[in-house]
Amino acid sequence: MRIRWARDPETLDPLFAPNLAAFDANNLLHVSLLQGDIATQQLAPALAEQLPTVQLVGDSLTRLQYRIRPAATWDNGRAVLASDVDFTLKLMLCPGLPNEAARNQYSFIRAVLPHPQDPRRFTLLCRGQSLEFAQASGDFFILPEHSLDPRGLLRRWSLADLQRQPLPLPADSGARAVAQQYLAAVASRSSNRLSGCGPYELLKWEKDRFLSFRRKPRWWGSRLQPAPLVLQARPQQLEYVIIPDVATAALALQRGDVDVFPQMPAREFARLRAAPAARSALRFYTSPSYDVATAGFNTRHPALADALTRRALSRCFDAAGLLRATQLGEGQRTVGIISPADRANYNDSLAPVPFAPDSAVALLRRAGWQRRSAPHEGWFRSTGRGADQQLRLLVRYRAEEVLFGTVALQFQAAAASIGVPVTLRPTEPGTFATAMRSGDFDVYLRVLRGNPFMFNFTQLLHSASANNVTKFGTPASDRLIAAIARADNPARRTALLRQFQALLQAEAPIVPLFYLPNRVAANRALTGLHVGSLRPGFAAATIERVAQPAP
Amino acid sequence: MAAAWLGLLVLVAVAAPWLPLPYPPNVPDLAHVAQAPLSPGQHWLGTDAQGLDVLSLLVYGSRTAVFITFPAAVLAAMVGGVLGGAAGFWGNRVRAAAGYWLLALGAAWWFLRLPMFGLGLLMAAAGVARLLWRPRRGAAYSTSVPLDAAVMGVATALDTIPHLVLVLAIAAGTGGVSALGLLAILAFTAWSTPARLVRAQMRRTRALPFTEAAQAAGIPAWQIWLKHAMPHAISPLRAALPLSLARLLGLESTLSFLGVGLPPEVASWGRLMASFRYDTSAWWVFVFPITILTFSMLSLHFLSSAPRRQAAR
């Protein structure tokens, strides 16, 4: 089974996957307690025997009780135990790892309490009470303690100890040693790298060419009857072929060199679907997705620090035109970063930001900008001290993304029409990530990937988060983000989410343009291909090839 | 015919901002994306996968081609001509006083940004001092400069690396290039061929009787080089310049096709051809620029062989 990837995953770090390809690969190698079921669009038990039992303690604690499936084992036959869950949570907090996101995401778990009699049973003691704890507590890959920390260095400290920063010296040196061991294990591209309890093992990885995965001969999931969808592993071998160029990948699909082409661009998808030869050889699937095309402003830059300027510039994006031009009208316009498909939480009382460069001029004037004519043409604003600010923008996007190439050109043209100079800087993926972290941009264009289960925006938009690349954050927005993460009933959370969407539209640190559709084209000879809104948009491990009749 | 085509191209390039084009080259028309030529609307040659007008891209692409490759070829010919002419005229025999050596070392120190900046400055200062206060009597401490070996060595080293790879490496190392930067890079990679041609011609010219007569008349060497020898030595460039232009045109288009050339808002035939990959049914985004590029390169090759054909008649 050969699947097209647009780029190399760079690393198969299960805790800190840098891109979608790495996430897909990790899904084959590792298993988490709960995993998204693409058929039902719900989180389903994977390593866990069933969804956790939630027990509220007083008004400030939650206990989540899990039991790991008795069949679950590592490759050497050892059982996957509660101690592995405890180890993984501690590993995520080790100094020396890029664990800012994990620290934000799992800080509510204060302790893993093992069951005295059953080593597979454990309770997660959580600080606070939230609707999302049950889902969030199971959403990370479980790693083997016996191979990464054979001496049990992390057992000497509790989870709460490691959550305190900075760590005391002995804890720090021990945790650093384990982190080093982990980094060494995941850095390898060989087949004997860190092995998880997932159904596949890495067979071969040739950078920028292909990654080959082989189903483990004694995969524990195959003993389950019936096997849940999230634990099915039907293909004996899965090969991810890296073909960056869309036309080349489409040709490979038509020639049968590739079996599945996920996230196919709209034009190529439409072209193939209209071609009789392709129609007879391929099947075409579409579904909504939780991927939203967004623009973001760097609020650290003085010119973009105020909401009025950002709102003015957000009116230079022709989201409706871009949706029509780049997605052929498929996909959905949105008012925020909650999908319109989520009818309960989507704030339908707001109107999408209009494309109105003329009204942007009025907003810029209200923000204190004044338009000057030649020789010093442009928009200037007095700062009260030193030189005047000039409104000029540097737009960064990933060089290979045609969608954002079009968005950037459209924005540049609209901004130029009102006298705002815009420089476009298509950037290589690695450099793009660095530029985002260092704040070397005024406007970024990228896809934000979401899911229907969790609404924790701490990483993305909280002022204390290092991953908040816009650096936006006000006391009100921080309070709202925290309140959403803590919401303990659906009605309350819905009200807060609607309020949050209104706040984001008013402050405009990011401009959600539209939700992208998910398009998958696959060989007709395949069965069991489940396509859905959850990333990566299809389930690779359930695909089978129809047996060809003997000649 | 070739001259007429190239003349038209230059005319279009110069007049592009004043031509009555219905759409600017870098403003996408989102309502007409990947539209075929002569479809409803005013996109006579259609639009590309981003909604950019193909006609405008061709016109402004010619501007990019002319205003980048022509100056780059002329600059390369000038640099190559001067270096090749000097190498051919003086060979490895010219002697330079110690002051010049010190000054050159100091300049190289500064250019290469070597550590201990003060030491480089000290060398340059010592060189200047030495030149200003030359001893009236006694040894001048001069050493011969291997000018010919140095120029030919650098040219050979430059020719051993494929120019596309070299330009790609420079562009990647500098994190993208501006139009002016691309011009400089193209000129840097293209001077070696003119240098070789002029050097070879200069070695013949140097042996001609009028050069020897000028030397015998006591005319300073640099005057003989500049006023008498160089006009003869640069004659091969007449045929080489169109070829150099064709090569640079191809290189610029290749770079833009690969997406490492000019900024995205600068129109280029190479980038227009590359957009065919995003919509392989849009034949017009490939056929029109490749036709223009082919005609232009054939015309340049034809022009370069014109002197030979004239001589044969």
In sequence order, what E strands does A257-367 have?
260-262, 282-297, 332-333
From first to last of its 551 residues, what are the pLDDT tens digits of chain A?
999 999 999 888 888 888 889 989 999 999 999 999 999 888 999 999 999 999 999 888 999 999 999 999 999 999 999 999 999 999 998 888 887 778 778 889 999 999 999 999 999 999 998 988 999 999 999 999 999 999 998 898 888 888 877 766 666 778 888 999 898 888 877 766 788 899 999 999 999 999 999 999 989 999 998 889 999 999 999 999 999 989 899 999 999 999 999 999 999 999 999 999 999 999 999 999 999 999 999 999 999 999 999 999 999 999 999 999 999 989 999 999 999 999 999 999 999 999 999 999 999 999 999 998 877 889 999 877 778 899 999 999 998 888 999 999 999 999 999 999 999 999 888 788 889 989 999 999 999 998 888 888 988 999 988 889 999 999 999 999 999 988 888 999 999 999 999 999 999 999 999 999 999 999 999 999 999 999 889 999 999 987 766 55
B72-119 pLDDT per residue, tens = 999 999 999 999 988 888 887 777 777 777 888 888 888 777 777 788
Indicate the SS3 state at residue A544. strand
Indicate the SS3 state at residue A537. coil
Per-residue confidence (pLDDT) for residue B139, from 0 to 100:
56
Which residue of chain B is at minimal alpha-carbon distance from A247? B277
* Cross-chain Cβ contact B27/A409 below 8 Å: yes
How far out from the chain centre does Cα A293 lie?
13
CA atoms within 13 A on the CB side of A82: 18
Per-residue confidence (pLDDT) for residue A232, from 0 to 100:
93
Tell me the chain B residues in contact with residue A268 when contact means C-beta distances shorter than 8 Å: 279-280
Tell me the chain A residues in contact with residue B259 when contact means C-beta distances shorter than 8 Å: 399, 426
Q: Which of B26, B31, B176 sits opposite A409 (nearest CB)?
A: B26
Average predicted confidence (pLDDT) for chain B: 84
Is A357 an 8 Å CB contact of chain B? no
Among residues B61, B60, B62, B28, the alpha carbon closest in space to that of B43 is found at B28
* Cross-chain Cβ contact B265/A424 below 8 Å: yes
In one letter, which amino acid is A440?
A: D
- For A68, which DSSP code? B
Distance from the B175 Cα atom to the nearest Cα atom in chain A, whole angstroms = 9
* Cross-chain Cβ contact A406/B51 below 8 Å: yes
Per-residue confidence (pLDDT) for residue B136, from 0 to 100:
60
Tell me the chain A residues in contact with residue B50 when contact means C-beta distances shorter than 8 Å: 325, 402, 405-406, 409
Q: CB neighbours of A401 closer than 8 A, spacing ≥ 6?
A: A445
Q: CB neighbours of B298 closer than 8 A, spacing ≥ 6?
A: B2
In one letter, which amino acid is A491?
A: A
* Cross-chain Cβ contact B279/A268 below 8 Å: yes
Domain limits, chain B = 2-94+145-312, 95-144
Rg (CA), chain B: 25
Indicate the SS3 state at residue A112. strand
The answer to whether A125 touches A111, Cβ cutoff 8 Å, is: yes
Is A412 an 8 Å CB contact of chain B? yes
Cα(A397)–Cα(A422) distance, integer angstroms: 13
Cα(B207)–Cα(B228) distance, integer angstroms: 12
Dmax over Cα atoms in chain B, in whole Å?
87
Give me the torsion for CA of A155, A157, A162, A168, rounded to 10°.
Answer: -130
Interface test with B, best of A251, A268, A411 (most B CBs within 10 A): A268
- Helix-strand-coil split of chain A, %, nearest 5: 35, 25, 40
Tell me the chain B residues in contact with residue A271 when contact means C-beta distances shorter than 8 Å: 279-281
Q: Which of B52, B264, B280 sits opposite A247 (nearest CB)?
A: B280
Cα(B158)–Cα(B195) distance, integer angstroms: 12
Q: Which residue has the tokens 């200062």?
A: B125
Label residues A165-192 b or e (16+ Cβ within 10 Å = b).
eebeeebbebbbbbbebbeebbeeeeee
Tell me the chain B residues in contact with residue A325 when contact means C-beta distances shorter than 8 Å: 28, 30-31, 33, 50-51
The answer to whether A66 touches A48, Cβ cutoff 8 Å, is: yes
Is A409 an 8 Å CB contact of chain B? yes
Cα(A235)–Cα(A238) distance, integer angstroms: 6
Per-residue confidence (pLDDT) for residue B125, from 0 to 100:
86
Interface test with B, best of A267, A393, A441 (most B CBs within 10 A): A267
Cα(A401)–Cα(A293) distance, integer angstroms: 11
Per-residue confidence (pLDDT) for residue A365, from 0 to 100:
95
Cα(A103)–Cα(A97) distance, integer angstroms: 11
Instruction: State how far the alpha carbon of A330 is from the alpha carbons of A319, A427, B32, in Å.
Output: 12, 27, 16
Is A399 an 8 Å CB contact of chain B? yes
How far out from the chain centre does Cα A469 lie?
15
Per-residue confidence (pLDDT) for residue B135, from 0 to 100:
64
Among residues B91, B82, B88, the alpha carbon closest in space to that of B200 is found at B88
Q: Which of A246, A410, A426 sits opposite B28 (nearest CB)?
A: A410
Q: The domain B2-94+145-312 belongs to what CATH superfamily?
A: MetI-like (1.10.3720.10)
Distance from the A82 Cα atom to the nearest Cα atom in chain B, whole angstroms = 48
Label residues B120-135 b or e (16+ Cβ within 10 Å = b).
beebbebbeebeeeee
A37-48 pLDDT per residue, tens = 999 888 999 999
Q: Which of B24, B31, B264 sits opposite A321 (nearest CB)?
A: B31
Sheet holding A53-57, edge to edge: A53-57, A61-67, A121-127, A109-114
Among residues A551, A550, A536, the alpha carbon closest in space to that of A35 is found at A536
pLDDT mean over B258-275: 85
Per-residue confidence (pLDDT) for residue B45, from 0 to 100:
93
In one letter, which amino acid is A65?
A: Q
Instruction: State how far the alpha carbon of A329 is from the alpha carbons of A289, A333, B22, in Å.
Output: 15, 10, 26
* Cross-chain Cβ contact B265/A425 below 8 Å: no
* Cross-chain Cβ contact A426/B259 below 8 Å: yes
Per-residue confidence (pLDDT) for residue B120, from 0 to 100:
81
Q: What is the ipTM of this complex?
A: 0.82
Is A275 an 8 Å CB contact of chain B? no
Q: In DSSP terms, which residues pair with A510 in a beta bridge? A: A296
Per-residue confidence (pLDDT) for residue A169, from 0 to 100:
64
* Cross-chain Cβ contact A271/B280 below 8 Å: yes
B195-212 pLDDT per residue, tens = 999 999 988 888 888 888
B116-153 pLDDT per residue, tens = 778 888 888 888 887 777 666 555 666 777 888 888 89
Q: Which of A246, A248, A405 sits opposite B264 (nearest CB)?
A: A405
Q: B298 is written with which tokens?
A: 């054939």
Q: Which of B50, B176, B277 sits opposite A245 (nearest CB)?
A: B277
Tell me the chain B residues in contact with residue A426 when contact means C-beta distances shorter than 8 Å: 259, 264
H-run or E-run covering A214: strand A210-215
Tell me the chain B residues in contact with residue A424 when contact means C-beta distances shorter than 8 Å: 263-265
Cα(A27)–Cα(A9) distance, integer angstroms: 13
Which residue of chain A is at minimal alpha-carbon distance from B28? A410
Domains of chain A by range and CATH? 30-187 (3.90.76.10), 200-288+518-545 (3.40.190.10), 291-516 (3.10.105.10)
Q: How many CB pairs under 8 A join A and B?
A: 66
Which residue of chain B is at minimal alpha-carbon distance from A264? B278
Which residue of chain A is at minimal alpha-carbon distance from B281? A271
Q: B141 is written with which tokens?
A: 């401490």
In sequence order, what DSSP letters do the residues of A383-414 get, joined into one string? Answer: -SSSSPEE--EEEEEETT-HHHHHHHHHHHHH
Is A325 an 8 Å CB contact of chain B? yes
Label residues B24-60 b or e (16+ Cβ within 10 Å = b).
ebbbbbbebbbbeeeeeeebebbbbbbbbbbbbbbbb
Q: Which ranges in chain B belong to alpha helices (H)?
A: 2-15, 54-90, 98-111, 117-132, 147-160, 163-173, 179-190, 192-206, 209-216, 221-223, 230-233, 237-258, 269-274, 284-304, 306-312
Per-residue confidence (pLDDT) for residue A366, from 0 to 100:
95
Q: Which residue has the tokens 């191809």?
A: B250
Per-residue confidence (pLDDT) for residue A549, from 0 to 100:
61
Per-residue confidence (pLDDT) for residue A98, from 0 to 100:
82
How do A526-527 and A282-297 pair as beta strands?
Answer: unpaired
Indicate the SS3 state at residue A8. coil
Tell me the chain B residues in contact with residue A270 when contact means C-beta distances shorter than 8 Å: none
Cα(B45)–Cα(A446) distance, integer angstroms: 32
